[in-house]
Structure 1
């Protein structure tokens, strides 16, 4: 208290004073750095406990979120369709890549599905956005989404999210895709009945365009 009074007297006289002394009885502000340190200690303790109890620092989990490349990904590259086709799983020394709406993913963690003999191997090394939505794996390996219904477009978005959020798949780049020629034919559906529905919708669309053009000419 004497030092405080002395300091206040100097201030009243206009004399220079240093910074006030910290009150030793005041509570200590932990701050963000201290909180980070506490969380780090807890994380290390949990990791060591996992190694001691189950023989794994990650308690047996080896998915996407405990792998370094999830947080420090390698430089992503651009693929041509020819380059992407080289990663179709036939060469066991190469990873397996698959594109969905232009985003290329490494799906090597699931070679049983995407490798030779797997149920989705036909899409490995190619663009699979439209194929996933229509089920036409052989004929719809394209980014041409013309003619798809709202439900099928929702399916495309579903698969985009599926690969982006999958615990074992990693985005490695983008597929260079040529612009779709609007004058080119829409991909034919592998199911004849669904193709009939597509043809009907297209005929109705063309008829509406023609009707609108006639009404405009009559004005």
Structure 2
């Protein structure tokens, strides 16, 4: 019977929600991420990251300082109608450091990755706090890297 289930369902565990949307989402510790496998893992170009914005794909990925986090279970914050929706599918580092939700702090996928070398100590401290928050709440699933010939 398991052979038929694997054949029909591709070995996918149908009893679990791979997006994490049905979980309670109340835990703020890394324990909530243990045992759950990331939906996608590896390197992301800004172009590929941009697709995971909650609109084009149900999954929501956000990059901070080159690390990509699966924030799908935080859809109420980062999804299409959430207060941080501008960060979905993007490198949110500058916006988080500046505490700004303006679109002009978010780079398009065809622009170079922001080096953040002009941030003040206070802005870096704010970004450190945000990154710690993401580390504790969402699984890190990959790395944001420049796309050759595009983000240079």
Q: Fold conserved (TM > 0.5)?
A: yes
Q: Give me the whole-angstrom Cα distance separating, in 2, the residues matched to 1:112 and 1:74.
A: 19
**Residue aligning to 1:46:** none
Q: Give me the whole-angstrom Cα distance separating, in 2, the residues matched to 1:99 and 1:117.
A: 19
**Residue aligning to 2:6:** none
Q: Give me the whole-angstrom Cα distance separating, in 1, the residues matched to 2:86 and 2:98.
A: 14
Change (3 A) 1:61 1:94: closer
Structure 1 residue 89 corresponds to structure 2 residue 54: yes
Query: What RMSD over aligned residues (CA atoms) do the two structures have, in Å?
Result: 2.5
Look at both structures and tell me which one has the larger radius of gyration over its CA atoms.
Answer: 1
The aligned length equals 114
Q: Deviations over 1:92-131 (max 9, x none)?
A: x531100010100011111111111110000100001111
Question: Which segments of 5 or more consecutive residues in structure 1 lack a partner in the other structure?
Answer: 1-59, 179-219
Q: Deviations over 1:4-55 (max 9, x none)?
A: xxxxxxxxxxxxxxxxxxxxxxxxxxxxxxxxxxxxxxxxxxxxxxxxxxxx
**Residue aligning to 2:135:** 164
Q: Normalised by the size of structure 1, how large is the TM-score? A: 0.46
Please tell me whether the aligned partners of residues 97 and 107 of structure 1 are also in contact (alpha carbons under 8 angstroms): yes
Q: Give me the whole-angstrom Cα distance separating, in 2, the residues matched to 1:156 and 1:100.
A: 9
Change (3 A) 1:120 1:74: closer
Q: Give me the whole-angstrom Cα distance separating, in 2, the residues matched to 1:149 and 1:94.
A: 35
Q: Normalised by the size of structure 2, how large is the TM-score? A: 0.65
What is the 5 A alignment of 1:133-152? 133-137=97-101, 138-141=103-106, 143-152=114-123
Please tell me whether the aligned partners of residues 38 and 70 of structure 2 are also in contact (alpha carbons under 8 angstroms): no
Structure 1 residue 104 corresponds to structure 2 residue 68: yes
Moved over 4 A (4+): 60-64, 72-75
Structure with the largest fraction of helix: 1
Change (3 A) 1:132 1:79: same
